[in-house]
Structure 1
Amino acid sequence: MTALAGGAEEPRVDAVPPWKSVRRTVAVVFFGWATAACTAVLAYLMLGAEWIPITVGVVLCLAFAVTLILLHQALWLTVLSSVPALFVLVGAVQYAPEAALELRGVRERVVIVADSAAGTSSDSHRFTLRAADGDEMEEKLVFDGAVWAPKVGDQLDVMRDPEGAVPMEQADDVDAAGRLEGLIAGTVGWTLIAVMAGWRGHVRRRRGRGESLLLRLAW
């Protein structure tokens, strides 16, 4: 047992061979990669039902956080991993629909003829659009936010999915490459954090140290 401040003692743990620590670290890294890949694939298979990949992605991200805790035997790296986790989740969920719009979407010039939020304090807009041929479009353009919101009479370029699986978006907002870059950046961040957690966890065990005080307090 190792003495801690206030007379408490930190439980000692048995050291593990280096190869075992490496194997654990590699397993956590691959789990992070699998989480990113599975969420992205599910988002593609479930186009139009974003809540499914979001739910699965959140569960997998939480599971990855638990594996980091077990690997590191401390909490702070797991808290730090929440930043790349956000990039992974947003990138994986949003890459598929935006890639679908870029691949098969139809670009059209439209005019806003009505706004569901007009005359209200709501920041959620559903714009009624008129196409270049003069016909009113059945699909509405959804826009959330008061800042930079288009107004009735404005002309916009939109990307529309002819299959109707992906909601219409403003053409300038469709950025599949940016979502993919975010997904990759988050996965790289997870990888670096997992390697650091594996190394620090191995050192803690080699020194016979158990869970960190912060982790025990959190539990």
Structure 2
Amino acid sequence: MGGYAVDPWQSVRRTVGVVLFGWGAAAVTAGVSYLALRWVAVPIMVGTVLCVAFAVLLALLHRAGWIAFLSLVPALFILVGAVQYAPEAALEARGVRESVVIVADSVAETGGDNHRFTLRTTDGGEELEERLTYNGDAWAPEVGERLDVVRDPEGVVPMEQADEVDPAGRLSGLVAGVVAWTLMAVLAGRRGHVRRRRGKTESLLLSL
């Protein structure tokens, strides 16, 4: 079967466009997280939409759907890194570290698995106004347990356990995800060019 004439520079431009979109998606999500420190749901929603859009562009570039599903793995690193880097960097920069003991858990009254812990400092015995939140029961702290927490004196960023504040780790995960996306886009662009040249302009997954 004869091949089809496909402009290689057009394939290169498409690939570069998808790569730039991926970089932009990560940057926009991180930027929205910085601008909306009080409302963590906003960057999560924006990042999710952009990650799905990148997966769609990758599938169209490759003319096959499997690579789009694979791209969701680094997308998770990008989403977590971009959403959590800004608030954790703010806590690291201006946060106040406190040694506390858990004196009450909202789950004991309301049920469910969304915990809001009442805390008391271990040095002066003062009860903190802010509550430490924890979603889920796996590895959840218990009443009477002592913790080190970091709280924002400006009250913008929610309090976190001190050992979970790791902006450098979030940034590393974000960068690793972007690098993986870049490599996948280059692979998709190369494979997509070959498929178009061979006349394979449809795939089973894209035709669903």
The two structures share one fold, judged by TM-score above 0.5: yes
Deviation at 1:153, TM superposition (A): 2.0
Aligned to 2:166: 175
Aligned to 2:8: 18
Q: Which residue among 127, 132, 152 is the counterpart of 1:136?
A: 127
- 2: distance between equivalents of 1:156 and 1:84? 32
Aligned to 2:157: 166
Aligned to 1:189: 180
Offset from partner CA, 1:68-104 (integer Å, 9 cap, x none): 1221111111111111111111111111111111111
Counterpart secondary structure, 1:158: strand
- 2: distance between equivalents of 1:33 and 1:194? 11
Offset from partner CA, 1:13-50 (integer Å, 9 cap, x none): 95321121111101110110000011001101100101
Runs of 4+ with >6 A deviation: none
For structure 1, the residue ranges without an aligned partner over 5 or more in a row are 3-11
Aligned to 1:34: 24
TM-score (norm 1): 0.88
For structure 2, the residue ranges without an aligned partner over 5 or more in a row are none
The root-mean-square deviation of aligned C-alpha atoms, in Å, is: 1.8
Give the alignment of 1:1-150 within 5 angstroms: 15-118=5-108, 121-131=111-121, 132-150=123-141
- 2: distance between equivalents of 1:122 and 1:199? 49
Aligned to 2:203: 212
Offset from partner CA, 1:126-169 (integer Å, 9 cap, x none): 11111232221100011223233222222211000011111101
Percent identity reads: 67
Structure whose CA Rg is larger: 1
TM-score (norm 2): 0.93
- 2: distance between equivalents of 1:146 and 1:128? 17
